[in-house]
Amino acid sequence: MHPTAYPMRAIAACTLAIAALSACGSESTSTALPPPPPAPPAVQQGSWQPAWSDEFDAATLDTARWNALEDCWGGGNEERQCYTARPENIGIENGLLVITAREEDFTGPAWPASFGPAGVDTSERATKPFTSGKLTTQGIASWTYGRFEMRARLPQGQGVWPAFWMLPEDSAYGSWAASGEIDILEAVNLGVECGTCEPGGENSILGTLHFGGQWPDNKYHSTEVSMPQVLDDEFHTYGVIWEQGRFTWTFDGQAFATAQASDWFTTATSDPNAPFDRPFHLIMNLAIGGRLPEDRALGGVASEGFPKRMEIDWVRVWKCDADAATGQGCSGN
């Protein structure tokens, strides 16, 4: 998610550590792409052991593994989409999970269902000019340490924001960002050509941690790298290795960023590994608009090329052996 402060209204309403990654024109027709070429099978590496996965081989989304969220909140980033569970926005095609963003006016819940305890009006409605999909494993599966990967083909265009990330399951250290946030992959405005963009089109990917105090005293550690391969319309694997006191972000199995315990903290405790020592759940979403994409490249959201498709071949999680000296984490794998 974008490392800038959230609007006061959104943060004041939030009692859980919820964040989101999260313009009119004619909608083009959507042509289903062929299935991707087979990926190499999951292979045990060192002491890593498969712990959880979804290969998206069923006919429909496995609701025993995923929640499909429904709200028009905008994630506190002024994103322009309503998330829905409709098949128009979330579906399975030829062994792929497809999250589709569409340009269409839609009215839905103004707030996520989990905002209820904060005293917001859960009956309030909002209308946004786009729809899309967001999936989480909250309340279903969460992990402390491990290797987390997604093989996906990302959409392109000004204002388009696909993401693969994690939030704390129980917000033990307080609301965002005191309990942390792990952004495994973010990319904005892919393929856009502009005076400040990379040659051949915008192609950066980001890996980020959010931590520190509760908003507005939040901090972040972020790495953004140019990765021209993401524009080749092929599938790539995006991942993070989360060990005790260390993160390593990967692209197609190769590390491109790291962080260690001295790079983060939480105001809730002096424990050097906190807040990244508690269970986190997975999130995948395709946001349209918001501060991060709209403040970059050509600005705003371009209406060309909708619908936009984020296609996921699989998501996999590996566990690891504990550190021999401490009995914790999965250090040094």
Q: Name the residues annotated as catalytic.
A: 181, 186
CB 146 within 8 A of CB 318: yes
Cα–Cα distance list, 194 to 81, 159, 202, 296 (Å): 25, 13, 8, 10
State the number of CA atoms in the 13 A half-sphere of 303 facing the CB.
10
Closest listed residue to residue 313, CA positions, set 106, 75, 35, 51: 35
Cα–Cα distance list, 232 to 156, 164, 286 (Å): 11, 19, 19
Name every residue whose Cβ is closer than 8 Å to that of residue 69 and which is 6 or more positions away in sequence. Answer: 83, 85, 112, 134, 135, 136
Give the tokens for residue 186: 């973010």
Please report, as a single letter, which amino acid is at residue 270: S
Q: How far apart are CA 76 and CA 282, in angstroms?
A: 19
Name every residue whose Cβ is closer than 8 Å to that of residue 134 and which is 6 or more positions away in sequence. Answer: 20, 22, 68, 69, 83, 99, 283, 284, 285, 286
Q: How far apart are CA 66 and CA 149, in angstroms?
A: 16
